[in-house]
């Protein structure tokens, strides 16, 4: 429910008259921390685990890959383990594991004598019914076109969803997560509000609907809480809640994938 948004728009009204400027802030540098991003899906492999390190705020957005890691993924349900191969700097891929719903996967990453572990269970797939479009006036007071996802949430509580949009093959920076905590068993018609107008009539939209587990939902929910325009009303910033042990940043997610291509109307 977009209650924060409700309130955020009011601030936006006030901030319409506000001035903004880029300022210099003197941020301390931090010891580079390991960042792991691992995904297993129900689409065919190979599946990728990307390992990088953080850089200082003032640095360029170039993140050093970690090339000396040993990465294994275990299908705990099938009791099958595989060591991943590095195909590009910091990019490790599987070759045999096949992602299946309701299987639990474990990831172990060994780097420089440190071990990072995580596990994730791929939820049951919920079918996306359709994508429709709606016009809304956004908080910057522009009319924008938003995709609306339509699907039936299952009767049992505990379903988590993530939506990613690609317009004309480019990923839109907004990520959407949705939980059925307040919507269990409902037919969901959820507009995906963008921070800017990205969708134009005639564009090709590829929308990915992923059924994610609770940890992945928590990760992206807490990540979204501290990024972008949410900062006006945000919680005290902190690193997202991760399912990876030992202080690593990032997440490990086993999830289903449904990609749908549609022309924006």
Partner 1 sequence: MTNYLYKRGKRRASGARKAYRIALVWAACLLSVIASGQSRYTVNGTIRDKNSGEALIGATVSLLETKTPERGILSNSYGFYSVTAPAGHYTLLITFSGYQPDSLAIDLTHNLTLPIELATAAGQLAEVVVSAQKRNDNVTRPLMGVQKLTTKEINDIPVLFGEKDVLKTIQLLPGIQFAGDGNSGFYVRGGGADQNLILLDEATVYNPSHLLGFFSTFNSDAIKDVTVYKGGMPAEYGGRLASVVDIKMNDGNDKEYHFGGGIGLISTRLSAEGPIVPDKGSFSISGRRTYADLFLKFSPDSSVNDNSLYFYDLNVKANYKFDERNHIYFSGYFGRDNLAFGNTFGIDYGNATGTARWNHVFSNRLFSNTSLISSKYSYKIRINSENNDIGFTSDIRDADLKEDLQYFVDAASKIDFGFSVIHHIIAPGIIDASSGSSYNSLTLQNKYSLENAVYISHQWSPTDKLHFDYGLRASDFLVLGPGDFYTYDSAGNTTDTAHYNSGKIIKTYTNPEPRFSVSFQLDEESSVKASYNRNTQVLHLLSNSTSSNPTDLWIPSSNNVRPEIADQESIGYFKNFKDNRYEFSVEAYYKSMQNQIDYKNGAQLIANEYVESQLLFGKGRAYGLELFLKKKAGKFTGWLSYTLSRTELKIDGVNQNNWYPAKQDRTHDISLVGIYQAGRKWTLSATWVYYTGNAVTWPNGKYNINGQTAFYYTERNAYRMPAYHRMDVAATLQGRKRKRFSGSWTFSVYNLYGRENAYSIVFQTDPNDPTKTQALQYSLFRFVPSVTYNFKF
Residues 65-124 that bind partner 1 (CB under 8 A): none
Using CB under 8 A, which of the segments 79-87, 107-115, 120-128, 187-195 binds partner 1? 187-195
d(CA 193, CA 99): 31
Contacts of 220-223 with CB under 8 Å at 24 or more apart are 220/162, 220/175, 220/177, 220/251, 221/177, 221/179, 223/175
Using CB under 8 A, which of the segments 6-14, 96-104, 106-114, 206-214 binds partner 1? 6-14
| Among positions 41, 45, 63, 262, the unique one binding partner 1 when judged by CB under 8 A | 63
Report in angstroms the alpha-carbon separations of 259 from 116, 162, 165, 166: 31, 12, 10, 10
**Residue 129 binds partner 1 (CB under 8 A):** no
203 vs 221, beta carbon nearer partner 1: 221
Using CB under 8 A, which of the segments 10-18, 92-100, 111-119, 122-130 binds partner 1? 10-18
d(CA 108, CA 5): 38
Q: Smallest distance, Å, CB 62 to partner 1?
A: 7
173: left (phi over 0), alpha (psi -120 to 50) or beta: alpha
76 vs 222, beta carbon nearer partner 1: 222
202 vs 238, beta carbon nearer partner 1: 238
Q: Binders of partner 1: how many residues, by CB under 8 A?
A: 87
**Residue 27 binds partner 1 (CB under 8 A):** yes
79 vs 238, beta carbon nearer partner 1: 238
61 vs 202, beta carbon nearer partner 1: 61
**Residue 250 binds partner 1 (CB under 8 A):** yes
Residues 74 and 105 sit within 8 Å (Cβ to Cβ): yes
Q: Is the C-alpha dihedral spanning 117, 219, 36, 91 positive or negative?
A: positive
11 vs 264, beta carbon nearer partner 1: 11
d(CA 188, CA 128): 10
List the Cα angle 145/146/148 in 5-degree steps. 140
45 vs 65, beta carbon nearer partner 1: 65
Using CB under 8 A as the binding rule, the residues of this chain from 149 to 178 that contact partner 1 are 164, 171, 173, 175
Nearest Cα to Cα of residue 258 among 42, 37, 39: 42
Using CB under 8 A as the binding rule, the residues of this chain from 209 to 238 that contact partner 1 are 218, 221-223, 225-229, 231-238
């Amino acid at each position: 429910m977009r209650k924060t948004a409700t309130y955020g728009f009011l601030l936006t009204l006030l901030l319409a008259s506000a001035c903004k400027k880029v300022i210099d802030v003197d941020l301390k540098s931090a010891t580079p921390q390991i960042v792991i991003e691992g995904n297993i899906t129900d689409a065919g492999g190979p599946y990728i685990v990307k390992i990088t390190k953080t850089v200082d705020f003032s640095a360029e957005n170039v993140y050093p890959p970690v090339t000396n890691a040993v990465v294994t993924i275990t299908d705990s349900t099938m009791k099958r383990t595989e060591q991943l191969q590095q195909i590009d700097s910091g990019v490790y891929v599987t070759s045999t594991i096949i992602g299946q719903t309701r299987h639990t996967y474990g990831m172990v990453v060994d780097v420089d004598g440190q071990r990072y572990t995580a596990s994730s269970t791929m939820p049951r797939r919920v079918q996306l019914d359709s994508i429709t479009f709606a016009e809304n006036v956004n908080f910057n007071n522009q009319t924008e076109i938003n995709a609306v996802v339509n699907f039936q949430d299952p009767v049992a509580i505990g379903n988590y969803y993530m939506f990613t949009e690609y317009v004309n093959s480019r990923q839109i920076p907004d990520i959407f997560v949705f939980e059925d905590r307040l919507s269990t068993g409902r037919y969901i018609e959820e507009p995906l509000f963008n921070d800017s107008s990205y969708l134009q009539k005639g564009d090709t939209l590829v929308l990915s609907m992923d059924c994610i587990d609770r940890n992945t939902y928590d990760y992206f929910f807490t990540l979204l809480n501290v990024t972008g325009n949410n900062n006006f009303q945000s919680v005290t910033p902190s690193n997202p809640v991760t399912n990876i042990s030992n202080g690593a940043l990032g997440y490990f997610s086993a999830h289903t994938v449904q990609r749908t291509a549609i022309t924006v109307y």
